[in-house]
Structure 1
């Protein structure tokens, strides 16, 4: 119990520091020099050391890169040994639009409303009256949902995205595809359901170009986040990947179409997670991810880490 309390305190402190750095202008100013020093030290440490240490910390066992067996092990092996220029393009939330248009068609794209490389351009006059989301193209920090632009402190918004444009997600995760993305701010139409709520995203995990399973997260922005995994026939898979089971969800009518286009997008990659939104019967592409949770998320039923790992075929080094 004492150790668990210490871990909880440590996690809380880490979250407070992270929020202070990323969301507070004063915190950013104070902590930025320390973060740059930390990043400089990180740059000097080889990728393999960072990845192996992070894996042990999150997963509780040593990462075997010589003979990876679990899904999480294989994702981390791919981080180190499966690096293609195409990954940088499709990890870029702006440039991936071209890839998606060429592969499956522009009708699957969320409408792009604005983009810029300069945070100073984030002024109300440049942005639409309708609901939208502002995000960066080069990291996984989420985005800023805007339903009424007259209610925002735009000076704070500009500072927030100025800070984000300076970040490089690669150095903390060693997910290589983020290293050389040219930072940009992207503004897209906010997708909503009939009642104004944010739609569920369907995360299709594809192994060697074919769907393995579909992940659904519930209450993503709430206190109790839950998750279900389904097979391609929409049968609930009896395992928990990092989170407890969520509510029962009806099989989407156009599931087959979603799987079809996901497998087209996944064809060029060993492992990839393709995200879609389903809004008013229409499928919209969300993003492509190469290492879910950076390959550091444990299964509650550990045997499923091995079961899914066995499905994913990689060409290990001789």
Structure 2
């Protein structure tokens, strides 16, 4: 969700005050791009970022809630397969290898570019989506009939390959850390909503339906993935008044999510629900970066109970 100008200013002021009160953390966070950034520095930054955002302490030796465990995973679970899954360039290949399905369930890549200057916009179709392959939320949609300002687009997306835009260096989500930066051009998908499975140790337990994704009107509803009953829960987005009929191919989506999630303690498997089918969207290992309260709060612990933490992998 986009913050208002007032919310952004308020956030920055609170962050400045917090940093001033915790100079050791502020120094370590400022050095996160350097080779000298250590495991202890990482743990310090993860603890303090959690404290700043969640307004409570994080004891990495004693975690129980969903948000706490996601932050534990940032520090101690560094499986390089997450790099392949999080990278929008390589994720489709991982999907095909794990599911044995063809590319009909994948959003087609039109082009992959090392920089904005490489893109020949005259060769792109009338509709497409530009995305950063190592970040979250960075996308630009072009629809048929849009007045395309090529230079304006180049200027807007040029920073997407700068190290400072790598999602790892904002919330320490390990899967993004070692991705080679690219700008991806995907086919435009006209979808009804996104259906995203929350998978714990390989088992899809919940899903939510996200409407109006990446807009100010975004909203979502949670469901039990096995009983299909709606859950009274809000997490980052308000609930939607829209009702859905469970797709006839829900079982196929569930089975695919189970295959993709089989090797990980937690991952969210996202699909686009189109008018007559579905397509794989992405795999997300740190839902809301592990920094979003639940309403009601009890679900933070309920979700957390389902994650069996693996042995530390540094």
Q: Same fold (TM over 0.5)?
A: yes
Task: Tell me the equivalent position of 2:298.
Answer: 303
CA RMSD of aligned residues (A): 2.5
* Aligned counterparts of 2:247 and 2:146: Cα–Cα separation in 1: 36
CA deviations 1:243-273 (Å, max 9, x no partner) are: 3321222222211111100010001111000
CA deviations 1:89-147 (Å, max 9, x no partner) are: 11100111111111222221112211111211223223123x21111111113311111
Q: How far does residue 158 in structure 1 lie from its aligned partner after superposition?
A: 1.3
Question: What are the residue-to-residue correspondences of 1:280-291 with 2, within 5 Å?
Answer: 280-291=275-286
Task: Tell me the equivalent position of 1:176.
Answer: 174
Equivalent pair of 2:109/2:185 in contact (CA under 8 Å): yes
Higher helix share: 1
* Aligned counterparts of 1:90 and 1:40: Cα–Cα separation in 2: 28
Q: Which runs of 5+ in 1 are unaligned?
A: 1-6, 18-36, 193-197
CA 1:84–1:222 in 2, change beyond 3 Å: closer, same or farther? closer
Equivalent pair of 1:66/1:316 in contact (CA under 8 Å): no
Q: Which runs of 5+ in 2 are unaligned?
A: 14-26
Q: How far does residue 200 in structure 1 lie from its aligned partner after superposition?
A: 0.7
Task: Tell me the equivalent position of 1:216.
Answer: 209
* 1:137 paired to 2:127: no
* 1:226 paired to 2:224: no
Equivalent pair of 1:71/1:312 in contact (CA under 8 Å): yes
Provide TM-score, normalisation by structure 1. 0.83
Task: Tell me the equivalent position of 1:92.
Answer: 87
Question: What are the residue-to-residue correspondences of 1:105-124 with 2, within 5 Å?
Answer: 105=101, 106-124=103-121
Q: How far does residue 9 in structure 1 lie from its aligned partner after superposition?
A: 6.7
Q: How far does residue 218 in structure 1 lie from its aligned partner after superposition?
A: 2.4
Q: How far does residue 63 in structure 1 lie from its aligned partner after superposition?
A: 1.3
* 1:41 paired to 2:31: yes
Bigger shift: 269-278 or 217-226?
A: 217-226
Q: How far does residue 150 in structure 1 lie from its aligned partner after superposition?
A: 6.3
Provide TM-score, normalisation by structure 2. 0.84
CA 1:13–1:149 in 2, change beyond 3 Å: closer, same or farther? farther
* Aligned counterparts of 1:262 and 1:186: Cα–Cα separation in 2: 23
Equivalent pair of 2:265/2:310 in contact (CA under 8 Å): no
Match of 2:240, SS state, is: coil
CA deviations 1:249-299 (Å, max 9, x no partner) are: 222221111110001000111100010012132220000010001000100
State the aligned residue count. Answer: 286
* Aligned counterparts of 1:50 and 1:96: Cα–Cα separation in 2: 28
* Aligned counterparts of 1:48 and 1:149: Cα–Cα separation in 2: 49
